[in-house]
Amino acid sequence: MENEIEKIVLKLNEIDAVKLGEFKLKSGIISPIYIDLRVTVSEPKLLSLIGDFMYKRVYNDSNSGNKPKLLCGVPYTALPIATAMSVQNDIPMVIRRKEAKAYGTKQLIEGRFKEGDNVLVIEDLVTSGASVLETVRDLKSVGLTVTDVVVLLDRQQGAKQELEKNGLRLHSVFTMEQLIDTLIKAGKLVGPQLELVQKFLDANRQVVVPVQPTTPQPVKSHLSFQERSQLANCNKMAQKLFRLMSEKKSNLAVAADLTTKAEVLKLADAIGSEIVVLKTHVDIISDYDEDFVKQLKALSEKHKFLIFEDRKFADIGNTVKYQYQSGVYKISEWSDMVTVHAVAGPGIIDSFKDSVLQKECGLLMLAQMSSKGSLCVGEYTQQVVEMAKQNQDCVMGFICQERLSNMPEHFVLMTPGVQLNNTADTLGQQYNTPDYIVQEKSTDVIIVGRGIYQSQDPKSEAHKYRTIAWDSYEKRLSK
Ligand code: S5P
- Statement to judge: residues 274 and 339 lie in one domain: yes
Q: At what angle do helices 78-89 and 44-60 cross, to 10 degrees?
A: 70
The pLDDT of residue 100: 54
Q: Are strands 252-255 and 445-448 parallel, antiparallel or unpaired?
A: parallel
d(CA 455, CA 317) in angstroms, rounded, equals 39
pLDDT recorded at residue 98: 76
Residues 277 and 154 in one domain: no
Cβ–Cβ under 8 Å, residues 398 and 364:
yes
Does residue 229 sit within a domain? yes
pLDDT value, residue 121 = 97
- Largest CA-CA distance found in the chain, in angstroms, rounded: 86
**Is 63 among the domain residues?**
yes
The residue ranges of the chain whose pLDDT is under 50 are 101-104
The answer to whether 165 is annotated as binding is no
Nearest ligand 1 atom, CA 312: 5
Number of domains in the chain: 2
Report H helices in 223-307: 225-231, 236-248, 261-271, 290-303
Can you give the CATH number for the domain in which 347 is found? 3.20.20.70
One-letter amino acid at 312 equals K
DSSP string, 26-38: TTS-EEEEEE-GG
Burial class (CB in 10 A: 0-12, 13-18, 19+), 191: exposed
Question: Could you tell me if 170 and 251 lie in one domain?
Answer: no
- Examine residue 76 and say whether the peptide bond preceding it is cis (omega within 30 degrees of 0): yes
Does the CA dihedral 307-309-313-317 come out positive or negative?
A: negative
Q: For the domain that residue 92 is a member of, what is the CATH number?
A: 3.40.50.2020
Domain assignment of residue 26, yes or no = yes
Name the nearest CA neighbour of 419 among 435, 411, 431, 429: 431
One domain for residues 71 and 195? yes
- Residue 216 domain-assigned (yes or no): no
Q: Are residues 188 and 238 in the same domain?
A: no
Could you identify the atom of ligand 1 that is nearest to the CA of residue 448? 22
Answer yes or no: 310 catalytic. Answer: yes
Domain assignment present for 215: no
Position 139 scores a pLDDT of 93
> Atom 13 in ligand 1: which residue has the minimum CA distance?
310
What's the 3-state SS for 400-456? CCCCECCCCCCCEEEECCECCCCCECCCCCECECHHHHHHHCCCCEEEECHHHHCCC
- In this structure, the answer to whether residues 128 and 259 fall within a common structural domain is no
Contacts of residues 451-459 at CB distance under 8 Å and 24 or more positions apart, as own/partner, are 451/418, 451/419, 451/420, 451/421, 451/422, 452/254, 452/271, 453/254, 453/255, 453/256, 453/257, 453/258, 453/267, 458/267, 458/270, 458/271, 459/270, 459/271, 459/274
| Domain boundary, last residue among 172, 204, 236 | 204
- Give the H/E segment covering residue 397: strand 395-399
Out of 204, 236, 263, pick the residue that ends a domain. 204
Examine the domain organization and report whether 251 and 343 are in the same domain.
yes
Cα R_g (the chain), whole angstroms: 28
312: annotated active-site residue: yes
Phi-psi region of 312 (alpha: psi -120 to 50; beta: other; left: phi over 0): left
| End position of a domain, from candidates 204, 238, 259 | 204
Please work out, in degrees rounded to the nearest 5, the angle formed at the alpha carbon of residue 426 by the alpha carbons of 399 and 364: 10
Domain containing 138 equals: 2-204
**Looking at 148, 154, 310, 444, which residue is catalytic?**
310
Query: What is the pLDDT, as a whole number, of residue 223?
Result: 94
19 plus 146 within the same structural domain: yes
Residues 179 and 250 in one domain: no
Looking at the CA of residue 368, tell me the nearest atom of ligand 1. Answer: 1
Q: What pLDDT, on a 0 to 100 scale, did the predictor assign at position 26?
A: 59
Q: How far is the C-alpha of 222 from the C-alpha of 213, rounded, in Å?
A: 24
Map residue 392 onto helix, strand or coil: coil
State whether 271 and 391 are in the same domain: yes
Question: Which residues contact ligand 1 via a Cβ below 6 A?
Answer: 255, 257, 281, 310, 339, 369-371, 399, 416-417, 429, 447-451
> Has 429 been labeled as part of a binding site?
yes
Give the model's pLDDT for residue 322: 95
Whether residues 243 and 353 fall in one domain: yes
Whether residues 401 and 323 fall in one domain: yes
Could you tell me if residue 180 is inside a domain? yes
Residue type, 58: V
Residue 219 counted as domain residue: no
Does 255 reside within a domain? yes
